[in-house]
Amino acid sequence: MPRCRFASDGREAVVPAGTGAMSVADALAASVPFSCRYGVCGACLVTVRSGGESLDPPSDGERETLRNVDASPGQRLCCRIVLRADLVLENAPW
pTM for the whole structure = 0.92
Q: Is the dihedral of CA 59, 65, 69, 70 positive or negative?
A: positive
pLDDT at 94 over 80: no
Q: pLDDT digit string (tens) for 63-92?
A: 999 999 999 999 999 999 999 999 999 986
List the CATH number of the domain containing 60: 3.10.20.30
Domain of residue 19, residue span: 3-91
pLDDT mean across residues, the chain: 94
- The answer to whether residues 13 and 4 touch, using CB atoms and an 8 Å cutoff, is yes
Mean pLDDT (whole number) for 2-22: 96
What per-residue confidence (pLDDT) applies to 86? 98
Q: Is 85 helix (H, G, I), strand (E, B) or coil?
A: coil
Instruction: Classify 72 as helix, strand or coil.
Output: coil
Residue 67, helix vs strand vs coil: helix
Quote the pLDDT of residue 34: 87
Domains held by the chain: number: 1
